[in-house]
Amino acid sequence: MLTREKHLLLVAVLLLFALPLQAIDAGPELAAAPSRYASFNGIRVHYKLLGRGRNTLVFVHGLGGEMGVWREQVSYFAPRARLLVVDLPGYGGSDKPDNVKYTMKFFARAVRAAMDDAGVNRAILVGHSMGTPVIRELDRLYPTRVRGLVAVEGALVMNMPPEAVEKVIAPMRGNEYQKNLAAMFDAMMEKASPALREDLRNAATRTPQQVIVSSMEGMYDPAIWKSDRITIPLLVVNAASPFWSAKYVEAVRAMARDLRYVTVDDADHFLMLEKPQALNEAIASWMKAKGW
């Protein structure tokens, strides 16, 4: 029979594990918006819909991220556009099945399911990091649903030699994947504040291991790195970094029929949180130039 002390300890443990994991700080506007769930292949896809306006922006986070990474964009664009912000399957408040492959096509179909559920017929898609190949796949699969693409610190052309891919993924396969994932995130946030680094690092290391590994395998799958042209308006916003070489920029220009390329100084990989004003103004001025 349980003693009173053991009973109280058991209750405390159960309550602890019943509490939801703390998400990335979503900011007041995004936090206040009610959660919605689309159904995709029996999987619940968590999203939020807010804002107003004749244009709709769909925000897609990257590897190890959650919808909260877009909090600064939500506060800026909510008064001027309709916003759909999504947690990809495996991340944030969405279901995290362990029996699926987290490919870019899988993610793209999940985002489309959220758009369908929200009644969004056509939108401007904004993707950060891994979110960029996700929105690229969505445009390939459902071109009538996409008005324009915004790539934020995300590759549109394979920017890593094939022999380096497994070297990047391998540290995530072992028992120390959380430590290795945290180190990878730290390397991408050298200029970020300590609080922001901790917030993003903690979110990444909460992601189930199989989701991280499968997402990375999907992201580096050679099959998605095609040479087909982007025929709709494209905005690229990257931090000033040797990673985005002149050769890479030239390749993107050759691929895109209608391109605006913006470089943000003194920023790292998560520039939407480090330099939100620069990103917000880049998107807003691009949309204005397009008459949107």
CATH number, domain containing residue 261: 3.40.50.1820
Q: What is the CA radius of gyration of the chain?
A: 19
| 80 in any annotated domain | yes
Q: What is the CA angle 38-57-36, rounded to 5? A: 25
| 252 in any annotated domain | yes
| 130 in any annotated domain | yes
Q: For residues 224 and 137, what is the distance between their CA atoms, to the nearest angstrom?
A: 8
| 8 in any annotated domain | no
Count of domains in the chain? 1
Q: pLDDT tens per residue, the chain (292 residues)?
A: 444 443 333 333 222 233 334 467 778 899 999 999 999 999 999 999 999 999 999 999 999 999 999 999 999 999 999 999 999 999 999 999 999 999 999 999 999 999 999 999 999 999 999 999 999 999 999 999 999 999 999 999 998 888 889 999 999 999 999 999 999 999 999 889 999 999 999 989 999 999 999 999 999 999 999 989 999 999 999 999 999 999 999 999 999 999 999 999 999 999 999 999 999 999 999 999 999 9
Q: What does pTM read for this prediction?
A: 0.91
Q: What is the CA angle 284-288-292, rounded to 5? A: 105
| 16 in any annotated domain | no
* Residue tagged 């602890």 (tokens): 16
| 7 in any annotated domain | no
| Residue span of the structural domain in which 64 resides | 22-289
| 211 in any annotated domain | yes
Q: Which of 229, 212, 226 is nearest to 176 (CA)?
A: 212
| 207 in any annotated domain | yes
Q: For residues 20 and 136, what is the distance between their CA atoms, to the nearest angstrom?
A: 32
